[in-house]
Chains A and B, each alone.
Chain A
Amino acid sequence: MSRVFASVSPFLAAALLVPVMAGGALAQVRDPAYAAARAAGQVGEMPTGYLGIVGASTPELKRLVDDINIKRKAVYAERAQAQHATVEEYAFTTGCKLVMQTQPGEKYQTPDGSWQVRGGGAPVRDSRCPA
């Protein structure tokens, strides 16, 4: 019995592990369309913690941005509740970090609403954002 189990268990373990890893890996990789839109500067990070469309909007872009922002808002709402903060406060705090984490060439929005291309230096952020 134990021999049977021993021979099966590696497969069982592998069968259990693969979906977990796949799921984990999927959650950590951006959708190719999103990655492309980001790299092309069609979308950018806003100080509010949400994604914005930089230039002319297309139905595809709007769907992409709406989809991500809805998912973001769900995460913000969950974490804000855990931290006893408002969704807006949590989203804003995350926005501070997201603008800071933009890569050179990516777009971000300054507090006055203008879109900027992230350069080598620090981005223009709200004065309340932590360093």
Chain B
Amino acid sequence: MKRNTLTRRPAVAKDSRMDQRETFQGRAKGPDGRLWPALQKVWRKRPVRLGVSVLSLGMVTALSGCITVSAPDKPIVIELNINIKQEVIYRLAADAGKTIDSNKDIF
């Protein structure tokens, strides 16, 4: 057995949990010195597992009530000049024309 645990570790791990195996072998002893039955460990873990499964069930039901967001099929166009008002443009138009005429090298 020991040779198996050392040399064929994956195969041993597949067979059963090593701590359980050790329990059966009688190597793991409780605080009182007696052998711990394998079932006792399972019973100890059951309430925790039950709690986790209830929690995950609750999360699934909570998620199903969420708003789903899907990507738009059209490209998103951001209008950068949306804040520029037409009245401002009309106010600036005459001055802009003069600016172009006096800086013809860059326009």
Query: Which residues of A are in contact with B by a Cβ distance under 8 Å?
Result: 26-31, 47-48, 68, 71-72, 75-76, 79, 82-83, 85, 88-90, 92-94, 96-98, 101, 126, 128-130
Query: Which residues of B are in contact with A by a Cβ distance under 8 Å?
Result: 80-81, 84-86, 88-93, 95-97, 99-100, 102-107
Given contacts A85-B88, A88-B81, A88-B84, contact A130 B93 (CB under 8 A): yes
Query: Main secondary structure on chain A at its contact with chain B?
Result: helix
Residues of A within 8 A of B93 (CB): 93, 96-97, 130
Residues of B within 8 A of A72 (CB): 106-107
Nearest-neighbour CB distance to chain A for B93, whole angstroms, equals 5
Given contacts A89-B84, A90-B96, contact A128 B107 (CB under 8 A): no
> In the bound complex, do residue B107 and residue A98 qualify as a contact, i.e. CB atoms below 8 Å apart?
yes
Cα separation A80 to B56 with both chains bound (whole Å): 60
> In the bound complex, do residue A75 and residue B103 qualify as a contact, i.e. CB atoms below 8 Å apart?
yes
Q: Which 9 A-B pairs have the closest CB atoms?
A: A93-B92, A94-B96, A128-B86, A28-B104, A93-B96, A71-B106, A93-B89, A130-B93, A89-B88
